[in-house]
Amino acid sequence: MLAEDSTFSGNTCACKGIRRCLVCEKIKGKSQHEAREKKVVHHFLYNSETRLADSTDAEVASFPFPGVFLWENFISEEEENELINSMDQDSWNESQSGRRKQDFGPKVNFKKRKVRMGDFSGLPALSQKLVARMQLEPSLAGFQPVEQCNLDYHPQRGSAIDPHLDDSWLWGERLVTISMLSDTTLTMSLEQGMPELGLAEEVHVAVRLPRRCLVGLHGEARHRWKHAIHREDVHERRVCCTYRELSAEFQPGGEQALLGTQLLNTALSFQGTPV
């Protein structure tokens, strides 16, 4: 059955707790993105050529921003069409904050630190050539993803993803995302500011993501800076594929290496369907 790729699927959503989308705001009230506008925030823009975070305020210096890798035009327009058409043949599940998702990965309980195969049958077939291409980049050498999450954003739903750090118990050093269908901005944030630069208030670094690019996070950008896609930066339908590798605990020599080998062998069979 074809997915309803860019329209409302009724008057329900999957938001919980403080999460909000345009569907549930009619009942629960406005989202927290309005509160962000009232905070004092120092804004910077990431320059992928110099790898500096450049300030728009002349009184604040630019600073090195390590841990972000941007590969523009990672896929062609034809590949983008092929990927989106393939995804839309499968169902999109409602997710929080107005997103929809498709998961290709093991069943995980992060709070209890438990992982099992579940119905995981591997990454989708079309990802095989993409993973091989990623590995050509020196910073992604040896990257072997064990999980893929496809996310569907649309402004009609108020889609967003709040500032967060990805898990580091199961997922490893590098996070890799392919961004499709429209341009957007990845916002990196430090709530505690940067005292070393004399910035006591929250700091944001905007990383512009052009359509069909690949963005990779590692190091400080992975473990220190939270990342988000804000509602106001979703102007058209956007679909992304995020790939995650295993942490050291699940790699050879780690406490759960046997399970890690099983997960990786399944993932790299590239025979998967959404779980």
Q: What are the pLDDT digits (tens) for 41-88?
A: 999 999 999 999 999 776 788 999 999 999 999 999 999 999 999 999
HSE at residue 170, side-chain half, CA atoms within 13 A, is 23
The confidence score (pLDDT) of residue 24 equals 80
Query: What span, in angstroms and rounded, lies between the C-alpha atoms of 31 and 37?
Result: 12
Would you state the structure tokens that stand for residue 234, as one six-digit string?
A: 């979703």
**∠ CA 143-214-175 to the nearest 5 degrees?**
45
> Rounded mean pLDDT of 178-185?
98
26 versus 130: the higher-pLDDT residue is 130
Say if residue 192's pLDDT is above 50.
Answer: yes
The confidence score (pLDDT) of residue 60 equals 81
Query: What span, in angstroms and rounded, lies between the C-alpha atoms of 34 and 22?
Result: 13
Range scoring the smallest mean pLDDT among 54-68, 163-177, 185-199, 228-242: 54-68
**Nearest residue to 66 (alpha-carbon basis) of 42, 46, 83, 37:** 46
Say if residue 4's pLDDT is above 50.
Answer: no
Beta bridge partners of 187: 206, 228
* Amino acid of residue 84: I
**Nearest residue to 238 (alpha-carbon basis) of 155, 152, 177, 161:** 152
Range scoring the smallest mean pLDDT among 2-6, 38-42, 150-154: 2-6
Enumerate the domain spans of the chain: 22-267
Element (H, E) at 170: none
Strands of 181-264 (E only): list them.
184-190, 202-209, 213-217, 226-229, 238-246
Query: What span, in angstroms and rounded, lies between the C-alpha atoms of 179 and 75?
Result: 10
**Which residue bears the tokens 């997710």?**
95
**CATH classification code of 22-267:** 2.60.120.590
Q: If you average pLDDT over every residue of the chain, what do you get?
A: 91
The confidence score (pLDDT) of residue 47 equals 96
Instruction: Tell me the pLDDT tens digit for each residue of 98-112.
Output: 999 999 999 999 999
Would you state the structure tokens that stand for residue 14, as one six-digit string?
A: 């999957």
> Rounded mean pLDDT of 140-153?
98
Q: Could you tell me the pTM of the whole model?
A: 0.91
Query: What span, in angstroms and rounded, lies between the C-alpha atoms of 4 and 1?
Result: 9
At residue 107, what are phi and psi to the nearest 5 degrees? -85, 125
CA 69 to chain centre: 14
